[in-house]
Structure 1
Amino acid sequence: MDVQPDEWIENNDDLMNNESGGEHEYMIMLFYIYTVIESVADTITFQKNLCEELFLKGRIRVSAEGLNVVLSGTKSNLQCYENRLLAHLNGTVTSQDLDVKYCPFRSDIPASKQLFDYLSIKKTKDLVSLEDQLGDEETNTFKPAPHLSPKEWHEALQSATSEDSIIIDARNVYESKIGYFTTPFQDGCGAPTLLTNTRRYSQLPPILKESVHHLAGKNIYMYCTGGVRCEKVSQYVQKLANSDDWIGEKPKVFQLKGGIQRYLETYGHLEADNVDDESSDQIMHKSDGNFSQSCLFQGKNFVFDQRRFDPQVGVGTVGACNMCSMPHFDYDNGHSPSENREARCCRCRILVLICSSCREKVVCAGEEFSQGKIRVFCGLNGTQCINEGNDFHFEFKRHVRIIP
């Protein structure tokens, strides 16, 4: 049995040194599984007892349709959790079905500050927060879209054009601001991306309804962080395509298996890797001993745990300071998200990108006003609140900018 996180913290002077690759390395476990849960109450009890035994903390959603899990702990204890869960499910689910992602900690902030400090196990109706439009019985009559492996996704985007394809980012606006997929140009025109600019996942239905003229007759390539959100959204798009709201030919819908996380494990690089000698738009990555073509994900993968973004990253920096427009990706400005020092709009409290230089001059939501500083908001130049992500406005954006 491994030591508890608190004991590990007390017995290590250098909290920045997380033993990489060893059984005592601390990691994040991320997975979801759609499977029939006969007794939600019994499953919650099992999960609670197992996590407490293995000193794992984080968030678990349990519903009649399956599990949605994100936990932190030592690598060996997380692997033990996976094995015990598979045994508990008694052969109804395989390791391939779980597709557990073991995610490394960032190296620039202490490992102790990237651990969850609580265990939340909740009974929910759905694995992800949905509106009735996404979770209704009619939507569920459609099967989730076919999954593309990272390699299949990479190859599909390389040949995609605006004439035949469109990419849908099924995440929220504050996620896509620091990273997203783009495609190579084919005859001067790559496939465009629909950045839905939502604040909550459940806001997607009206956005997609307004976008049918962009989606009709296209190959739709859909992605999110780890894959769970695309399962339901791909069903909803198929429902929409078979409704009176649809105009034109029906689309072909695909989703990225394992989401951005799995793709970057194959085509990205660890942020600590030395890539200074390579042009950021021509970084080459090793896969199965051979060099593959350059990564199609730009920037960083926003995550909903104490890291804020995963250290497996793509190419360049896509974020920019909301005040001075200088390249910037860090909502926390070098601090751990657990310190709650992130920049947020003073009115609507959405996350805002403010570079370290501008951060010294502003006051954000939750901070005491100081003479000589100005309050920052989510609108252009930080001067006003636009209630970003809540106005159901969508941006249809063609990625034509090559990250230098």
Structure 2
Amino acid sequence: MSILNISAYRFVSLDDLPALRERMLAQCHALALKGTILLAPEGINLFLAGQREAIDAFMDWLHGDPRFAGMHGKESVSDEIPFKRMRVRLKKEIITLRHPTIRPEGGRAPAVDAATLKRWLDQGHDDEGRELMLLDTRNAYETEVGMFPQAIDYRIASFTELPAAVAADHARYADKTIVSYCTGGIRCEKFALYMQDIGMQRVFQLEGGILKYFEQVGGAHWQGDCFVFDERGAVDKELLPAGLSPPSSPAENPRA
């Protein structure tokens, strides 16, 4: 498989969005990349596909901006580019939650890496013996494709519905160790801060999301595939295209 797919994000203040959009679009076109980049005052969220040399060249160029230095992504491969075009879009948020007081750039919630979460799932509790609860922060059509079967799934249609669902169910999480997860890390990073904001104490995010979990520990404890917002439709536990029919408008609705 000759095509490299990469997803990456960073919460960082950006104030030159129109000019940045034009520079990024020009660079992607010059390298024959396709995909979607979202830019907002709170940061960047990107999904790109192309030849490895072109992806590497774009990331090297991106790292030349101190705001994006050291930014790395999750990688997978495919036979074809799973995007029809290249778009750079300006948005109010790179992942829409509509809680403006939640600002990940100001400080992240604690994170657990894939190996730690696997160990906790193997033993049925965290390293202090506390009961573990997983929260899937994705939409219902994503969880239908695959999820940790023991996770809480509120069957939401949009990420913006999750705060009300969790707040109404606050008592369920008392005295538990909570790990929020999503596809690539962006939603669980933002939502872990929301959970802290409403008074939950032991809240973690899965570092790098499901894709990094597959990359580092395989599919242990996972059931099904992982939905992705491009023409692959989903990837399996080896991060290969799973053969699912693609979403109706993958370029319009990218999520991590």
Q: Which of 262, 279, 297 is equivalent to 2:222? A: 297
Q: 1:140 aligns with which of 79, 103, 111?
A: 103
Does the 8 Å CA contact 1:57/1:71 hold for their aligned counterparts?
yes
Letter in 2 for 1:125: K
How far residue 178 of structure 1 moved from its aligned partner, in angstroms, is 1.9
Shift of 1:126: 0.9
2:55 to 78, 83, 100: 78
Distance 2:236 2:144 in 1: 16
**Aligned-partner residue type, residue 115 of structure 1:** P
If each structure's helix is expressed as a fraction of its own residues, which one has the higher value? 2
CA distance in 1, matches of 2:121, 2:167: 24
Once the two structures are superposed, the pairs formed by residues 45-56 of structure 1 within 5 Å of their partners are: 45-56=22-33
Match of 1:104, SS state, is strand
Percent of aligned pairs sharing the same letter: 25
Task: Indicate yes or no: 2:149 matched with 1:199.
Answer: no
Q: Is contact 2:109–2:189 with CA below 8 Å preserved after alignment?
A: yes
Show the counterpart of 1:158: 122
Q: Across the two proteins, how many residue pairs are aligned to each other?
A: 242
8 Å Cα contact 1:169/1:222 also seen in 2:
yes
- Do the aligned partners of 2:130 and 2:177 also contact (CA within 8 Å) in 1? no
Paired amino acid for 1:181 = F
Is residue 115 of structure 1 aligned with residue 115 of structure 2? no
* 1:251 equivalent among 201, 214, 220: 201
Structure 2 partner of 1:94:
69
Between the aligned partners of 2:29 and 2:153, the Cα distance in structure 1 is 40
Q: Which residue of 2 aligns with 1:36?
A: 13
Task: Output the CA distance in 2 between the equivalents of 1:130 and 1:310.
Answer: 26
Q: 1:311 to 1:76 in 2, by over 3 A?
A: farther
* Structure 2 CA distance for aligned equivalents of residues 299 and 266 of structure 1: 17
5 Å-filtered alignment, 1:1-400, equals 20=1, 25-87=2-64, 89-90=65-66, 92-95=67-70, 98-105=71-78, 111-112=79-80, 114-131=81-98, 135-137=99-101, 139-140=102-103, 143-161=107-125, 164-182=131-149, 192-241=150-199, 250-268=200-218, 295-313=220-238, 332=245, 337=246
The CA RMSD over aligned residues, in Å, is: 2.3
Q: Aligned partners of 1:181, 1:265: CA distance in 2, in Å? A: 16
Offset, 1:311: 3.6
Distance 1:86 1:171 in 2: 29
Contact map agreement 2:140 2:155 (CA 8 A) in 1: yes
For 2:251, the equivalent position in structure 1 comes to none
Q: CA deviation at 1:313?
A: 4.5
- Deviation of 1:68 after TM superposition, in Å, equals 0.3
Task: Tell me how far 1:253 sits from its aligned partner.
Answer: 0.4
Identify unmatched segments of 5+ residues in structure 1: 1-19, 106-110, 183-191, 242-249, 270-294, 315-328, 341-404
Q: 1:80, CA displacement in angstroms?
A: 0.7
Distance 1:122 1:57 in 2: 13
Mapped to 1, the partners of 2:54 and 2:236 lie a distance apart of 21
Unpaired stretches in structure 2, ≥5 consecutive residues? 249-256
The letter of the residue matching 2:178 is I
Separation in structure 1 between the aligned mates of residue 218 and residue 119 of structure 2, nearest angstrom: 15
Q: After superposition, what is the alpha-carbon deviation per residue over 1:195-222, rounded to whole angstroms, capped at 9, x for unaligned?
A: 1211111111111012111112210011
TM-score (norm 2): 0.86
